[in-house]
Amino acid sequence: MGGETARGAVTLLGDNNRYGAAALVRQIVEIEFLLFLFAQDTDEPSRWASSDLKAVREQYQPARMRARSGGQFRIEEYSSHCQVGGHPRYAGAYVLPEHIRLGPFSDEAVFAAGWVDLAQHLARVWRWIGQILSKYDLLEVGLANSSLARAYESITVWLREDYCAPLLNESEALLLKQAASTPPA
């Protein structure tokens, strides 16, 4: 699910469909929550897979997974993703290429921020996958081990070569705060 969602976000960003990509990045954040739970408890995947709709609502909604994480995830970050890529909201209109709402940053900065944000979340997904593979004693599986090694190598290169990579969370929060507080013209 994470791979398909990531591939969709990459395709949408490549086509400059930032609003659509933002919705998928929000889904990736939710996948992070779920992978965290899988990394903590080896019984969690079975509980998740066998959950009926009532159990999913009780245990696997984003707010509930975040609460179960014991503070691992910031509510402000998820909230910002919901403002831009969740339910349609005016606060997210600045990512639209039609510019129905001008944001506080240039179009290029908003576009680049979408790529960096996606990459940051995918790096976290791989961190949880690494912990899951270790916890479940799957690191010796050839495909798992080689994929994890390639992912970690790519993440290391990205963090070393892109100075903005570790800074986006704070910039994103500022961007959304300014965009949400700018009244319509």
Q: What is the mean pLDDT of residues 102-108?
A: 67
pLDDT of residue 29: 95
Q: What is the mean pLDDT of residues 97-118?
A: 73
Give 31-89 as a DSSP string. Answer: HHHHHHHHHH-TTHHHHHHT--HHHHHHHSSHHHHHHHTTSSS-HHHHHHHHHHHSS--
C-alpha distances out from residue 48 to 34, 39, 45, 132, 179, Å: 9, 13, 5, 15, 36
More confident residue, 141 or 128: 128
More confident residue, 18 or 179: 18
Q: What is the mean pLDDT of residues 93-121?
A: 76
Q: Above 70 in pLDDT, residue 101? A: no
pLDDT of residue 164: 73
